[in-house]
Structure formats: structure tokens, C-alpha cells
């Protein structure tokens, strides 16, 4: 069947259906989002799907979900996708590059934009979705880490809804008082407990971390994720980035957030109120729960997640993170307290360092060394304009790349 007939059905949609654009549909968040959407075909219509280079996977998604538009960030991948779609006589418009992402992020038929592109590449299309007044399901934590001030200000100015999809932030959102909206402080909230599984090396010695491989770092005990976020979870930088994101989303200071390791990943986060009450959100570790919550909020819809059996769980353990073994978390706290462009510098350095580790150019324990060097080299600016933030982001990447290259040269010279 071609897409011609389904596309015509857009003109006959009942008013209860909502259009959805998924930025990053071939990643783990995107795939889980499509799984939830597929359970509610009468409630949602997919407007656009986007990917970076995974042509075959995006093509399969196009065949199944019949979006109006598909975007490949990579232009050569876009050409391949366009050819596949043409050969199948599918009426899908293929776009490419940053312009393509921005076009679908602001598409007038799209009411909901799922921001699931990993890294700083997702910042501008997500910001444009906010400026277009969309409901933005925020899985791209870097958007708030890099430019939280801009995002919150623009969301409030443009009437956009920012709903967190990260399991921890979504849990916090569910525990917030009635009427809460992102970026505003709730006076009745005393502090937030941000839970953390501890990653694959929770019980590892500091000495053993030196020899960690990319394969080991990507083997998360509870969650199935992409390679970059898996490494971030292994270093605990992911939790550090979530700390910064939580400050912006919930209007709290870094010192109002306590990170606790909870290996079972059943309690996804907690909120303590000034009267001493502590509210928690529990559930099986499955990203479809927060995705379904954010899609339908303030309603609830079926997500496909099995019911939590507390008798099977049997116990819930908690412990403090070790900042000596996992210095990335300490660096993130420092950046959150420092403010300005310091979180953007931290994030940029981390992205470069993680990629270098995945490419086997540096070791696992070298990741925080790269980040700390970059933070020491670039003074943070407290000018919140986006162009200043992006400038410091680029400077941080350059410093990180040069630092890694200089380390490689020293190692090579020492080996010879």
C-alpha cells in the first residue's frame, strides 16, 4: 500500500487526534515513543520522524507509521532515504540537515514534539519547538543544561508546555503540587531526591575503572540506552546533567537536590515537602511509562508496561554516591553552582570526551580529566544570550579536542 490514502486522511482527522513529531525516532526514546503511539492510533497521528544516519531503521518506521515528513540530519543519508521512499512510491517528503529538523519541529500540524535527539545537536530544533508554542516532551537534557535560562524564558513567553520524559524528572513532575508548571518554584517543596541506579560500576574499585572498555560501560544493568548516554550513566555524568536540568525544570538550587543511589530503579525520584511529607513515584524501569504520561498529561493512557510487583522486588536499597570514584558528578555539582555558561562548557567537554572514549582514544577514567581541564581553561560567562552560550560550547569542544590530541601525542612519543 502507498501512503497516498493515509495522507489524505489528514484532512479527515477528528478533532481529538493530536499530531506528533519525534526528533530522534531511531534512538531508544524514539523507539519507545513509537511503541506507545502505536497503541493509540485514534488519539495520535505522526507528522514527522527524524534521524541522524540510520537510514534503514527510519525507512522501516516510515513504512509502518506513514508520516508526512522524514528528516535525516546527514545529507547523504537523506539522499539514500529519499531513493528508498521513491522506490516504494510512498508520498513522504524527505528533508535534511538542521533546516529540516527546524521545519518539522515547528510544523503547524504537530501539536506535540518529542525532543529525543542526544547531545547539543537537539538544542536548536527543540528551542524552535518551544518558540512555536508546542507541547515539548523533553528527553534531550542537554537543551536545559546548555541554555536553561533561554528555554524556560521562551517557554513562558510562548506558552509552550515543557514536560520531562527522563524517568527521574517525570517522576518529580508527577510528585509536584497541582498546577505546577516547568520553571517555577513550588514554595511548599523543601528538597528533591534524584535517584540513580549507580550504573554498571557501582561496586567497582577505583583501580579497576582504569581498564574499563566501551562495551563494559555500555552494559547498563537496568536500562537499554544509546551508547553515549550509557557511558554517561557509567561515569554518573548523566546524573550530573539531570541535576542541572532539575534545577531549571523545578526552580530549585543545586543544594536542594540530593542524589541517592537506588540500584533497583523502582523508585524513580522523590519530592519532600515542608510539612515533612515525601512523595515518590514508583514503577518498573521502562521508559514507556514517562513517555505515556507526558503524551497524555493530565490524563493517563495505556503504555504497555507491566504492573509493578513489590513482592517480587522484595527490597529497596539506597546509598550515597562516591564522588571520589565518580568525579564527573562532583564536576556537575560545581557547574550547577557556578551557573552562567559553566554547564554548557561541562556538557560540551563531556560530549567530546565520551566520543573519544568510545573511539578508544582515551580511557574511562580520562573522561573527567578532560572535562576538568576544559573547565579550568575557559572562564564561564554569565551572559545568558544564546549566541554567548553556543560560543562557549564551541570553545569548550576545541579545547577538549586539542587536549585529547596532545595527550595522544605524549603517549605516542613515550611509546617510541
Q: CATH topology of 13-164 equal to that of 339-416?
A: no
What gap in Å lies between CA 238 and CA 233, rounded to an integer? Answer: 5
Which of the listed CATH numbers 3.40.50.150, 1.10.10.10, 1.10.1740.10, 1.10.275.10 matches domain 339-416? 1.10.1740.10
What gap in Å lies between CA 278 and CA 144, rounded to an integer? Answer: 26
Domain ranges of the chain: 13-164, 179-283+306-331, 339-416
Residue 125 has pLDDT above 60, yes or no: yes
pLDDT of residue 13: 45
Which superfamily does 13-164 belong to?
NAD(P)-binding Rossmann-like Domain (3.40.50.720)
- What number is the average pLDDT over the span 58-85? 96
pLDDT of residue 223: 59
With CA atoms as reference, report the closest residue to 34 among 125, 127, 116, 140: 116
CA distances for 371 relative to 144, 328, 345, 403, angstroms: 19, 8, 8, 10
| Residue 412 pLDDT class (50, 70, 90 cuts) | confident
Which of 12-21, 188-197, 224-233, 356-365 is least confident? Answer: 12-21
pLDDT of residue 3: 31
| Residue 413 pLDDT class (50, 70, 90 cuts) | confident
pLDDT of residue 303: 97
| Residue 416 pLDDT class (50, 70, 90 cuts) | very low
Residue 310 has pLDDT above 70, yes or no: yes
pLDDT tens by residue, 370-394: 999 999 999 999 998 999 999 999 9
What gap in Å lies between CA 2 and CA 349, rounded to an integer? Answer: 45
pLDDT of residue 222: 60
- What number is the average pLDDT over the span 250-263? 96
322 exposure class (CB count in 10 Å sphere: 0-12, 13-18, 19+): middle
With CA atoms as reference, report the closest residue to 114 among 37, 196, 201, 208: 37
Terminal C-alpha separation, the chain = 62
pLDDT of residue 6: 39
pLDDT tens by residue, 110-123: 999 999 987 777 88
Residue 133 has pLDDT above 90, yes or no: yes
Share above pLDDT 90 across residues of the chain, in percent, rounded to a whole number:
83
- What number is the average pLDDT over the span 138-151? 89
pLDDT tens by residue, 21-54: 999 999 999 999 999 999 999 999 999 999 999 9
With CA atoms as reference, report the closest residue to 122 among 66, 80, 180, 165: 165
pTM of the model: 0.89
Amino acid at each position: 500500500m502507498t501512503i497516498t490514502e493515509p495522507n489524505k486522511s489528514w484532512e479527515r482527522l477528528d478533532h481529538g487526534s493530536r499530531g506528533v513529531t519525534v526528533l530522534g525516532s531511531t534512538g531508544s526514546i524514539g523507539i519507545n515513543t513509537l511503541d506507545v503511539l502505536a497503541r493509540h492510533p485514534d488519539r495520535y497521528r505522526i507528522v514527522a520522524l527524524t534521524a541522524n544516519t540510520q537510514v534503514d531503521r527510519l525507512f522501516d518506521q516510515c513504512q509502518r507509521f506513514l508520516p508526512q515528513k522524514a528528516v535525516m540530519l546527514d545529507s547523504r543519508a537523506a539522499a539514500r532515504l529519499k531513493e528508498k521512499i521513491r522506490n516504494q512510491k510512498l508520498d513522504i517528503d524527505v528533508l535534511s540537515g538542521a533546516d529540516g529538523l527546524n521545519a518539522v519541529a515547528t510544523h503547524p500540524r504537530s501539536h506535540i514534539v518529542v525532543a529525543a535527539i542526544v547531545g547539543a545537536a537537539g538544542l536548536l530544533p527543540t528551542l524552535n519547538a518551544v518558540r512555536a508554542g508546542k507541547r515539548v516532551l523533553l528527553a534531550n537534557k542537554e537543551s536545559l543544561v546548555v541554555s536553561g535560562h533561554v528555554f524556560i524564558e521562551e517557554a513562558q513567553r510562548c506558552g509552550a508546555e515543557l514536560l520531562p520524559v527522563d524517568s527521574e524528572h517525570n517522576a518529580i513532575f508527577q510528585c509536584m503540587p497541582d498546577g505546577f508548571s516547568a520553571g517555577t518554584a513550588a514554595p511548599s517543596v523543601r528538597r528533591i531526591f534524584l535517584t540513580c541506579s549507580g550504573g554498571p560500576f557501582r561496586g567497582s574499585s577505583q583501580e579497576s575503572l582504569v581498564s574499563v572498555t566501551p562495551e563494559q560501560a555500555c552494559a547498563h544493568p537496568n536500562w537499554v540506552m544509546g551508547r553515549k548516554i550509557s557511558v554517561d550513566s557509567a561515569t554518573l555524568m548523566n546524573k550530573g546533567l539531570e541535576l542541572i536540568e532539575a534545577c531549571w525544570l523545578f526552580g530549585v538550587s543545586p543544594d536542594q537536590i540530593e542524589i541517592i543511589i537506588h540500584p533497583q530503579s523502582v523508585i524513580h525520584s522523590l519530592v519532600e515537602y515542608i510539612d515533612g511529607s515525601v512523595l515518590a513515584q514508583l514503577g518498573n524501569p521502562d521508559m514507556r511509562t514517562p513517555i505515556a504520561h507526558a503524551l497524555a498529561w493530565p490524563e493517563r493512557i495505556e503504555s504497555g508496561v507491566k504492573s509493578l510487583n513489590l513482592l517480587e522486588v522484595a527490597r529497596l536499597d539506597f546509598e550515597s554516591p562516591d564522588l571520589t570514584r565518580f568525579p564527573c558528578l562532583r564536576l556537575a555539582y560545581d557547574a550547577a553552582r557556578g551557573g552562567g555558561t559553566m554547564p554548557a562548557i561541562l556538557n560540551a567537554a563531556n560530549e567530546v570526551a565520551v566520543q573519544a572514549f568510545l573511539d578508544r582514544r582515551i580511557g574511562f577514567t580520562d573522561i573527567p580529566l578532560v572535562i576538568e581541564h576544559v573547565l579550568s581553561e575557559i572562564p564561564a560567562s554569565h551572559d545568558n544570550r544564546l549566541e554567548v552560550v553556543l560560543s562557549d560550547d564551541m570553545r569548550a569542544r576545541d579545547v577538549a579536542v586539542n587536549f585529547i590530541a596532545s595527550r595522544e601525542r605524549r603517549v605516542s612519543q613515550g611509546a617510541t
